[in-house]
Amino acid sequence: ETGVTQTPRHLVMGMTNKKSLKCEQHLGHNAMYWYKQSAKKPLELMFVYNFKEQTENNSVPSRFSPECPNSSHLFLHLHTLQPEDSALYLCASSQEGGGGALEQFFGPGTRLTVL
Partner 1 sequence: QQQVKQSPQSLIVQKGGISIINCAYENTAFDYFPWYQQFPGKGPALLIAIRPDVSEKKEGRFTISFNKSAKQFSLHIMDSQPGDSATYFCAASTRDYKLSFGAGTTVTVRA
- Pair type for strands 64-70 and 73-79: antiparallel
Among 25, 49, 87, 107, binds partner 1 (CB under 8 A): 107
For residue 46, the tally of other CB atoms under 10 A from its CB is: 20
Residues in contact with partner 1, shown as a per-residue x/- string from 21 to 50 under the rule CB under 8 A? ----------x--------xxxx-x--x--
**Segment contacting partner 1 by CB under 8 A, of 11-19, 60-68, 69-77, 104-112:** 104-112
- Residue 104 within binding range of partner 1, rule CB under 8 A: yes
Per CB under 8 A, 109 contacts partner 1: yes
# chain residues binding partner 1, by CB under 8 A: 24
Nearest CA to 13 among 64, 86, 108? 86
Should residue 13 be labelled a site residue for partner 1 when binding is judged by CB under 8 A?
no
Q: 30 — phi, psi (to 5°)?
A: -110, 0
Q: Which of residues 54-73 bind partner 1 (CB under 8 A)?
A: 56
Residues 6+ away with beta carbon under 8 Å from 111: 9, 10, 11, 88
Question: Buried b / exposed e across 17-32, counting CB within 10 Å, b at 16+?
Answer: eebebbbbbeeebebb
Chain positions contacting partner 1, by CB under 8 A: 2, 4, 31, 40-43, 45, 48, 56, 90, 92, 94, 96, 100-109
